[in-house]
Amino acid sequence: MTALLQAEGLTKHYRVARPRLLAPRPVLRAVEDVSFEIAEGETFGLVGESGSGKSTTARLVLRLVPATAGRVEYRGRSVLDLPPKDFRPLRREMQMVFQDPAGSLNPSYRVRDLIEEPMIVHGTPATAAERRERVGALLAQVGLDPSHAARWPHEFSGGQRQRIGIARALAVEARLLVADEPVSALDVSVQAQILNLMRTLKDRHGLSYLFIAHDLAVVKHMSDRVAVMYLGRIVEQAPRAEIWRRPAHPYTRMLLEAVPRAKVPDQRAAAAPPGEIPSPVAPPPGCAFHPRCPARMAICSQHAPVAKEIAPGHLAACHLY
Amino acid sequence: MEAPPLLALRGLRVAFPSRRGLVRAVDGVDFDIAGGEVLALLGESGCGKSVTSLALMGLLPATARVEGEIVFQGRDLRAIDPAALRALRGDALAMVFQEPMSSLNPVLTVGRQVAEALVAHGRADRRAARARAIELFGEVGLSDPARRYDAYPHELSGGMCQRVMIAMAIACDPALLIADEPTTALDVTIQKQILALIEDLRRRRGTAVLLITHDLGVVAENADRVAVMYAGRIVETAPVRELFASPRHPYTRGLLDSMPDLDDEDAVLHAIPGQVPDLAALPPGCAFAARCPRASDRCLAEAPPLAAQAPARAARCWHPL
């Protein structure tokens, strides 16, 4: 397995507004020491609740926001410190699919112009005729009628707009798609259409995905390996089957128990998990999860746990291990 | 003899005039809710579930054309005068919305907002209202309720704001709580807390709940009975266990099959092809026929009635499963 993308020690701190005049500006720790790899042809899922840092991680990888610390290697080349002109050819291979297909498509562009735009930016294909031909082929690939190329984004439903967003990402022959909550704005029946499409395209083009979602069932369905984030850190990382059969981190277990199943339970009202996610401006000392953790020990409030490999490919950052 | 239902909807229709013609958002909806019962209204965006709840509360815009009866505690809410409806709203009939942050007044403390509701409905004078509001905050599980009284909405998390909304809703001990996507904006661990709180209120106070949601998991774990809506109509009603064990309407089946399952290894999702019809140009036959694997010529020509399938079960389908 060769790594297509490798992130090491990715960190993003934001300085936020002073609470009072003359007070020091607090630091918001959005992403803290995040490391992972995505192999060629693999789907790597990032799951977590709001504020866990999963979207910031995606943006760091694509250099949409500058990292405070850490490295990203794409096909063996360090990308965070490349000058923009050297980064551009690599960036062509790494495309993003956004959550809100309505907000990420320019409403004053026709669909054909939206899909052609990345090709113009990256200068491939070079001629307008070739590009137009490719637009038609791309529309067909994502399940839209090529004759709709002259329509405007508002003429499409949410699911169809997400198909347009995917066509845009594929327009320049991307190898890695970073999909940030690509189906969370869609209804269940349409969501399934888009998930199936993404899987088909992955097989057809040998794509790799960094797939981000808050919905555990969706992430499980899509991913080969999964990382669970909490308050800016990866707390557990494992192959898909392993993390669902043997969740190791108490937070992963809490999440899995909290997801409502579309099955009537024999007994109602299992205890709801306690507490809320703390502020990333003032995270609890030690393990950030310890105030909500049913298995906390004395050490948990003093030392942050380091990720350990507890089974082949299965990492957990928890003092239990 | 059975007791009359707490709420009975008879032939509710809501239409909005638009440039494209009359948009039939709710097209003949009937259902009952018994005292202490949780009825889930399940459906995807645009199916008419929220418009139904707004009609119940008398909160539709003046342009809406409404027909039918809404009988609550023996009185037709559409026939009583506006002052009587106002007195009922927030008293015997209360509502919790999807966006707790935007439903609260940002410039008043959350305590004031709850106290005001108590005073407005003559449940307490100013001084007693403060004490009662703090008591309610304790009841909905806000930590440190006396201090929370003076907090502004922006100082609280989404989950805490939803607890405040619930405190306000139950301030006057309603007979029916309408909860419109009460947890859709919340993280899954917080969702579980809020749903447990609603269930607890139902058990202790005997409050009936109309739970409006698109989430099959939320329905399975919290409802007694389910009404599934599609394109402005109820297409199936059943006790919750029977609905999930053996759905009769192909749309309900399609919804269940299009969800990724957290507890099973599933290769392909069975997406429902196509999309919901335009509510301004509904087909003459069954509104689901164009997407239905069981559709026949009859389905395209003639709209099926909501027909009894078994005791307490009904489906709007010519070819039920």
* Residue A268 forms part of a structural domain: no
User: Cβ contact (<8 Å) for B256 and A262?
Assistant: yes
Cis peptide before A125 (omega within 30 of 0): yes
Helix (H, G, I), strand (E, B) or coil at A37: strand
Local confidence pLDDT in tens for the 321 residues of chain B:
467 899 999 999 999 999 988 999 999 999 999 999 999 999 998 899 999 999 999 899 999 999 999 999 999 999 999 899 988 988 899 999 888 888 899 999 999 999 999 998 888 898 899 999 999 998 888 888 999 999 999 988 888 898 999 999 998 889 999 999 998 888 888 899 889 989 988 999 899 999 999 999 999 999 999 999 999 999 999 999 999 999 999 999 999 999 888 877 766 788 898 888 888 889 999 999 999 999 999 999 999 999 998 889 999 999 999
Q: Which residues lie closer than 8 Å to B207 by C-beta, 6 or more apart?
A: B36, B170, B173, B174, B175, B176, B177, B201
User: Cβ contact (<8 Å) for B221 and A216?
Assistant: no
Contacts of A244 in chain B (CB under 8 A): 262
In this predicted structure, what is the pLDDT of residue A188?
87
Q: Which residue of A has its CA nearest to B185?
A: A50
Top residue of B44, B259, B264, B276 to mutate, by most chain A CBs within 10 Å, is B259
Going by C-alpha positions, the residue among A182, A167, A61 that lies closest to residue A119 is: A167
Top residue of A200, A223, A231, A264 to mutate, by most chain B CBs within 10 Å, is A264
Of the candidates B189, B222, B265, the beta carbon closest to that of A49 is on B189
Of the candidates A216, A218, A273, the beta carbon closest to that of B192 is on A273
CA B171/CA B173 separation, integer angstroms: 6
DSSP state of B151: -
DSSP state of B89: B
* Residue A266 forms part of a structural domain: no
Domain that holds residue A81: 3-259+275-316
Amino acid residing at A319: H
In this predicted structure, what is the pLDDT of residue B276?
86
Average pLDDT over every residue of A14-25: 86
* Residue A215 forms part of a structural domain: yes
Alpha helices in A150-259 (DSSP H): 158-170, 188-205, 216-222, 240-245, 250-258
Cβ-Cβ contacts under 8 Å between A and B: the total is 122
Of the candidates A157, A216, A277, the beta carbon closest to that of B275 is on A157
For A:61-90, CB contacts with B below 8 A are: none
User: Cβ contact (<8 Å) for A269 and B196?
Assistant: yes
* Residue A267 forms part of a structural domain: no
In this predicted structure, what is the pLDDT of residue A5?
96
Going by C-alpha positions, the residue among B82, B63, B76 that lies closest to residue B9 is: B76
Average pLDDT, chain A: 91
Name the band, by pLDDT with cuts 50, 70 and 90, for residue A265: confident
Distance between terminal CA atoms of chain B?
32
Flag whether residue B82 sits within 8 Å of chain A, measured between CB atoms: no
Flag whether residue A281 sits within 8 Å of chain B, measured between CB atoms: no
In this predicted structure, what is the pLDDT of residue A19?
81
pLDDT tens track for A39-92: 999 999 999 988 899 999 999 999 999 999 999 999 999 999 999 999 999 999
Name the band, by pLDDT with cuts 50, 70 and 90, for residue A1: low
Contacts of B275 in chain A (CB under 8 A): 157, 159-160, 190
Q: How big is chain B by its Cα radius of gyration, in Å?
A: 21
Q: Which residues lie closer than 8 Å to B82 by C-beta, 6 or more apart?
A: B58
In this predicted structure, what is the pLDDT of residue A263?
81
Q: Which residues lie closer than 8 Å to B302 by C-beta, 6 or more apart?
A: B284, B285, B318
Domain at B7-92+172-315: CATH code: 3.40.50.300
User: Cβ contact (<8 Å) for B217 and A259?
Assistant: yes
Flag whether residue B256 sits within 8 Å of chain A, measured between CB atoms: yes
Q: Which residue of B has its CA nearest to A253?
A: B189
Flag whether residue A102 sits within 8 Å of chain B, measured between CB atoms: no
CATH label of the domain that carries residue A305 = 3.40.50.300
Contacts of B190 in chain A (CB under 8 A): 276
Q: How big is chain A by its Cα radius of gyration, in Å?
A: 21
Say if CB A198 and CB A166 are below 8 A apart.
yes
Contacts of B189 in chain A (CB under 8 A): 49, 254-255, 258, 272-273
Q: Is the pLDDT of residue A241 over 80?
A: yes
Say if CB A53 and CB A7 are below 8 A apart.
no
In this predicted structure, what is the pLDDT of residue A100?
77
Element (H, E) at B82: helix B82-88
Average pLDDT over every residue of A176-187: 92
Written as six digits, the tokens of B102 are 């935007």
Q: Where are the domains of chain B?
A: 7-92+172-315, 104-171
Q: Which residue of A has its CA nearest to B190?
A: A276
For B:9-68, CB contacts with A below 8 A are: 44-45
In this structure, what are the phi and psi dihedrals at residue B196, rounded to the nearest 5 degrees?
-65, -35
Amino acid residing at A183: V
Total domain count, chain A: 1
Residue appearing with tokens 């502020």: A279
Say if CB A218 and CB A195 are below 8 A apart.
yes
* Residue A321 forms part of a structural domain: no
User: Cβ contact (<8 Å) for A260 and B220?
Assistant: yes
CA A47/CA A181 separation, integer angstroms: 10
Q: Within a 10 A sphere around the Cβ of B39, how many other Cβ atoms?
A: 23
ipTM: 0.85
* Residue A264 forms part of a structural domain: no
Flag whether residue B290 sits within 8 Å of chain A, measured between CB atoms: no
Helix (H, G, I), strand (E, B) or coil at A249: coil
